[in-house]
Amino acid sequence: MHVQNTGSPHTPQQQQQQQQQQHPGPGQFGILTAGPSLHHNAHNAISRLQQGLQQDDDLFATPDESDQKSTGHHSHKIIPNPPNLEAWREKLFSVNEMITLSEEENTILIFLMLTMFTLIDLLKNISASRFVSHYWDCRLKGRPPGTAKSDDPNKKKRKRTARERDLCDVKIKITEYFPGAMLRADFQPDGGPSADPSQATNYFAQAGAHQQQFALPMINANVPPNHPGATGQRYYTIQRVNGNGGNGKGDGVAGPHKHDLAKSDEIKKNSIQRFLQKREKEDKKTQKTYHKKASGLALNTVKKHSKDNDLKLFASCFCPFVQRVWIALEAKGIPYQYVEVDPYKKPQALLEVNPQGLVPALRHGDWGCGESSVLVQYLEDLQFGPPLFPKSAQAKAHCRLWSDHIDRKIIPTFYQLLQAQDFNKQAECSRKLREEISQIVDVCDPQGPFFLGPTLTYTDIMFAPWILLCRRVLKHYRGWQDPQPGSRWAIWFEAIENNEYVKATTSADDLYIDSYERYAMNAPNNSELADAINGGFVLP
């Protein structure tokens, strides 16, 4: 499906005024002179379909001089799932009386014409009346092969089955009226009388004669109200002009199709559908995806912990929640085995530990659990290695309070910013994220460099992966700015970046840029986390 995209910010009326200013003529104030400006700039939306249908690569390209020649549906952008499609299909299939359409409505028409009809070489171009007509056969009419079979043995040949021809005689005519056509005093519709306003029986005549000054065509103010062309815009009419025998009488009267709409759908895919399938296939080849293997210093750490161990970390190298647990394991020096899994495929080994199939997950002997914050506290409770919490109960509560702020405020806003596609929404989320970060920075130990002072603690670990992603992902996709040098935020930021345990669990930058492209594009079916952000739900 297409929507007209002329590339101009002006309305048709504004474009017309600009043309009049640039090409003044002998008419009153240069309006609608007899010169070639209107006709020269008029471009119809159908006549290049024949070329486009044979060249799928250029089917939707916008010509360099879109105002100087026909653009076909090349100047439209594609909407794969147009609204009210079935209603429009039925309306077009059953057309009997003439239908008048605006340019916007015609975008749906073009899509449907390619679905059910075939453009043929019968067209009537009446330049003086500022319109062009095209004729379309029902697809079941069929046509001879356009290209002879090749004898080249190296050319790839497709298996084709010839379709029956002359199964339906319905023919449709579409007439396109160029911008400003109805405003001309000498307007003559396709198949209708000249628009002499002095005659009450004319196409849109009203009482009173319209006078021309200096024998030149002037603006015609007597146009029917609420008509798509009444404001000088392009409009279209569509009608059935043939179908002999369709009514079962063979009397030459235009009759209906000899088949139902379902039969039309059995015919080969139209050019738009083929183009969409081709583009989807090409996009899959070029689209970056999440990495399945760590790189850089993180890869060295993976190799060091590849041997079997009673404590197993089921992880994905790009996941920040995994990195929380990974940093804690390294900081505490606990022996473990690193097991890389693809969380999107949810292998059985992961499901046995965490039935939700989410990472991180820990298996310790016969026991298994998920949820990063729970797992880091579990490792602390093992009483192995340096502690991650201070001794004071109040200080521990302080750590947990602000770790909760990270989970409930900072992380959701981070992903809202990353997934936002609207610029204003991005600006709003960026401001909000800075505010949430400022709140936690304001309660940090004044000297630092970490949250509670000189050593890495639980709260630092909870925040560390997203501090890294601010510089590697948000900066790349959303223009996020690094902290002001010398600020408390910058001191904490650099302390996290340079911590040995953080560095040991961090891959090369391209791993994160590639893996988070789908989030930055807000691609569908991305992850449960992305769906939760889009739906305004609690993070899984």
Distances (CA, A) of 453 to 41, 457, 494: 71, 9, 14
pLDDT tens for 490-507 read 999 999 999 999 999 999
CA dihedral angle for residue 480, residue 486, residue 490, residue 492, rounded to 10 degrees: -170
| Domain locations along the chain | 2-142+164-269, 296-535
Tokens of 461: 């670990």
If DSSP codes are grouped into helix, strand and coil, which group holds residue 174?
A: strand
Q: Does domain 296-535 have CATH number 3.40.50.970?
A: no
Are the CB atoms for 414 and 496 separated by under 8 Å?
no
What pLDDT band is residue 12 in, cutting at 50, 70 and 90? very low
Return the residue matching tokens 């009346």. 129
pLDDT for 68: 32
Q: What is the pLDDT of residue 31?
A: 28
| pLDDT grade for 361, boundaries at 50, 70 and 90 | very high
* DSSP one-letter string for 233-299: --EEEEEEEE-TTTTSS-SS-----SS-HHHHHHSPPPHHHHHHHHHHHHHHHH-----SS--HHHH
What tens digit of pLDDT does each residue of 436-476 get?
999 999 999 999 999 999 999 999 999 999 999 999 999 99
pLDDT tens for residues 122-165? Answer: 454 445 557 888 888 887 777 666 666 777 777 776 666 666 77
- Mean per-residue pLDDT over the chain, rounded: 76
